[in-house]
Structure 1
Amino acid sequence: MKMKNRFQRAWNELIRPAVNLNEAALLDWLGIQPGNKAINEVTYFTCLKMLSETMGKLPLKYYKSEGDGRIRADPDSGALLLMNRPNPVMSPSTFWATVEANCQHWGNAFVWVQTEFVSSGRYGGNYKIVSYWPMQSNYTNVIMDNAGIFGNAGKLYYRYCDPKSGKTYTFSQDNVMHFKTWCSFDGILGCSVQDILKTTVSGLGESQNYLNNLYTQGLTASMALQYTGDLDKKLRNALEKEYNELLTGARNAGKVVAVPVGMTLQPLNIKLTDAQFYELKKYTALQIAGAFGIKPNQINDYEKSSYANSETQQLAFLVDTMLYRLTQYEQEINFKALTERQRADGYFFKFNEKVILRTDSKSQMENLTKAVNNGIYTPNEARNLIDMPSEVGGDILIVNGNYVPLTQVGAAYKKGGDENGNS
């Protein structure tokens, strides 16, 4: 009897249906997100694209404070990495776009600053930055050492599980650049737009699914089939299945369907115009774009836009949205990528935000001419802005020879002598 029960249990295990590892219920029980649906929504994706590409096309410059201004500084090896090649497989544009995409989508972005010890003698040496690696935010956990287990109470540590190798690494906060969204309630971790506006983003995605289903059905509405008499459940299901195959699908659109005597097809029309489907979808898209700080013309809404208005919106995008992002990036980079000695000597990084404010050629030349003629730019500085080489003698500020100091305005028109009686 015991042997029979063992065989029976073994047989039951063999015939048990296999568990689908992609089943939503199983993944939810395991705490695994089976994929992010927010990014499939076109407005959400467009906003991510706009912010990520904007960060990717802003060149990072290395400066040194001099007096009340700044000058371009000769970059060291660490600065050259950030400006030219953060790591062996990424260009700067790809690197910063990846960081911003992680930050906006997950609320936080992390960059591992890889260093190695370089000996400078028998008893000395220092650490040198060799590369910068973005870490996928959904595989990174932030831990605060409140108890001082690692010797520094209150310090942050970052645990990263590499999805490619499966290995887990722990980095201290000194070796990780941490960028976050503006929305943070503890100052440590940022909140993502997809979490805050979960219902709004989900609603816009469901509206797109409704349109997709409508196209799949050949843009035909649901119908009610009326018949005389009564049918049992089995025959009714067979009848419904037959007419579903005849009426749904793009290949059946416009076809004639035969209806037996005693039966009537009654369309259940729900017009998109009556439900204000377009207006609601457009309004929801603008709400999501507004949460990201994206202007209407940047999500292809040109209903109330003109050329001048689009240029104004681009300036507003820089001031209202990107200026905070750039300030946060620059502060984190300057603290984590530079030594205390470099910061004390006035070295710092700064993104060149002027690249997204380039105007047409005529306006650009007029602005440069005014700046040179009024002693704001040297001729060579103006030439460098339009990618032309410097010329000899072009590093001197020039102004109109008829200009006089404010204290001497009108002196040429005074009659008689000065206050001492001299003519």
Structure 2
Amino acid sequence: MGIRSLFGFSRTRDMPTNTAGSGYSFLFGRTTSGKPVNERTAMQTTAVYACVRILSETLASLPLHVYAYKDSGGKELVYSHPLYNILHDEPNPEMTSFVFRETMMSHLLIWGNAYAQIIRNGSGRVLGLYPLLPDKMDVERDDKGRLYYIYARQSNENPNFKRHGDIVLQQEDVLHIPGLGFDGLVGYSPIAMAKNAVGITLACEEYGASFFANGANPGGVLEHPGVLKDPSKVRESWNAVYQGANNAHKVAVLEEGMKYQQIGIPPEEAQFLETRKFQINEIARLYRIPPHMVGDLEKSSFSNIEQQSLEFVKYTLDPWVIRWEQSLQKALLLSGEKGKYFIKLNVDGLLRGDYESRMNGYATGRQNGWLSSNDIREMEDMNPIPEEEGGNQYLINGNMCKLKDAGLFAGKQSEKQEEPQQLNGKRGKR
């Protein structure tokens, strides 16, 4: 995906020893609707902007932590790990974690790839992360089959680059999060893949703007019973008085027997509004966004909107979260750390129901012994109860027992009743 082979056929990459670049087979550019589509014109449509914003802001707002595997099982937060502050708070001195992830996610949704330069110290530890523009990046292989990146710097977006032109970056110096692609190395741009759908949306918006600019009236012709010496003068005088939204509904005065004949198709007959509405759903389908999240509430109700929101987390957000987590672990953890630590984006907060449902769920977990008071307080973002006060105790109802122990108490009681009878029988024999 680079400045030289952006979305065009370049060299093939069938063998890992090839020196092939990031080849795309789908181009940004003109569509069948006649509207040019690229990353910037696409973002001018409200549907694309809304979908990109929803996914970018949602992923950027998720808690991002570094965990360590415990020897006894489970996990624990590792605040002291060098990556924790970088990922959770400040990837570089110019950006917060939210802004960094929002920027990277928007690159991923528009171009299909997200790149960031990794700044390391002498021991390989990560010191900072700086986003790189995807449309300036090429992915190549050297003669030994190892990946490397070529960044075409033409502006001052990255303070670590001191010169302009092509800059070669090794694989360990680049965090690359690829989207859906056919080779597993470089992702395809969703906008480039669906450029015709985006082009129709742009054409509909332009038609609507032109419709209102012309006084919200379709085109027509002025008929004159005679021969006009200067038709352009008549047309210009008509437009000067009646064209434009500010001149709509003015009373037209026709002279010399002229008649106005409408020849355009009224918007209600052309189903202009229905077309625009369908295109919004088309873009939402592209990014797998529930329609109600981009303002289409036709098929949403109070009873199903919560379920649609949960499905958004499960089917839309989760794949992106996993893609992020695995890419971060692969690029940022040292080889000796990958069996000890892992990076996690927490989506539990998005899956929480309403207050009453949460309290009922906590009560069930508490009464059945698989949630302690501190477990519940942690999920509700509350301070823990001290351990000496029982905050970490797991309780269970006293009337519950193991299946194999069912009837054990009754059996012991019958044994106690049989013992005196046996003693009495022995005494009688004496």
Please classify the TM superposition score into its range, dividing by the shorter chain length. Answer: 0.7 to 0.9
For residues 119-160 of structure 1, give each alpha carbon's deviation from its aligned partner in whole angstroms, at most 9, with x where no partner exists.
Answer: xxxxxxx23321111111122222222x24xxxx33232424
Equivalence for 1:370? 364
Deviation at 1:268, TM superposition (A): 2.7
2:254 corresponds, among 259, 270, 294, to 259
Quote how far apart the aligned CAs of 1:356 are: 1.6
Moved more, 201-210 or 59-68: 59-68
Q: Which amino acid aligns with 2:46?
A: V
Task: Say if 2:285 is the partner of 1:290.
Answer: yes
2:62/2:346 contact within 8 Å kept? yes
Shift in Å, 1:272: 1.9
1:217 matched to which residue of 2? Answer: 214
What do residues 198-239 of structure 1 show as CA deviations (whole Å, max 9, x unaligned)?
11111011111111111112212222100122235xx11121
**Within the alignment, does 1:86 sit opposite 2:91 as a pair?**
yes
Counterpart Cα distance in 2 of 1:416 and 1:404:
17
Distance 1:261 1:129, change over 3 A: same
**Is structure 2 residue 325 aligned with structure 1 residue 330?**
yes
1:67-86 equivalent positions in 2, closer than 5 A: 67-86=72-91
Give the counterpart letter for 1:286 in structure 2: N
User: Following TM superposition, by how much is the alpha carbon of 1:290 offset from its aligned partner in structure 2, in angstroms?
Assistant: 1.0
Match of 1:141 among 121, 138, 143: 138
Amino acid at match of 1:130: L
- Aligned match of 2:43: 39
| TM-score normalised over the length of structure 2 | 0.81
1:42 CA displacement: 0.9
Is 1:307 the counterpart of 2:302? The answer is yes
Corresponding residue number in structure 1 for 2:423: none
From 102, 110, 125, the counterpart of 1:105: 110
Contact 1:140 1:161 in 2 (8 A): no
Residue aligned with 1:266, SS: strand
For residues 402-421 of structure 1, give each alpha carbon's deviation from its aligned partner in whole angstroms, at most 9, with x where no partner exists: 32122213433458757xx9
Contact 1:135 1:160 (C-alpha < 8 Å) held by counterparts? no
Structure 1 gap segments, 5+ residues each: 1-26, 118-125
CA displacement at 1:33 relative to structure 2? 9.3
2:393 to 378, 396, 404: 396
Percent sequence identity over matched residues?
A: 26
Per-residue CA deviations over 1:233-285 (Å, capped at 9, x if unaligned) read: xx111211111222211221122222112211122352222122222222222
Aligned length: 375
> 2:169 matched to 1:177?
no
The CA distance in 2 between the partners of 1:207 and 1:185, in whole Å, is 32
Q: Which runs of 5+ in 2 are unaligned?
A: 1-28, 31-35, 158-162, 421-430
CA distance in 2, matches of 1:162, 1:382: 52
Does structure 1 conserve the Cα–Cα contact (< 8 Å) formed by 2:137 and 2:149? no
Q: 2:379 aligns with which of 378, 381, 385?
A: 385
Q: Hey, what does 1:359 align to over in structure 2? A: 353
**Aligned match of 2:148:** 156
What are the Cα deviations for residues 155-182 of structure 1, in whole angstroms up to 9, with x where unaligned?
Answer: 2324241522662432111121111222
Whole-angstrom distance in 1 between the partners of 2:303 and 2:118:
43
- Once the two structures are superposed, residues 90-144 of structure 1 have per-residue CA deviations (whole angstroms, 9 ceiling, x without a partner) of 1111111111000101111001111122xxxxxxxx2332111111112222222
Q: TM-score, normalised by structure 1?
A: 0.82
- Counterpart pick for 2:195 among 195, 198, 202: 198
* Contact 1:159/1:170 (<8 A) preserved: yes
Distance 2:152 2:93 in 1: 20
List 4+ stretches of structure 1 deviating above 6 A: 32-35
Letter in 2 for 1:409: A
The 8 Å contact of residues 148 and 168 in structure 2, kept in 1 or not, is answered as no
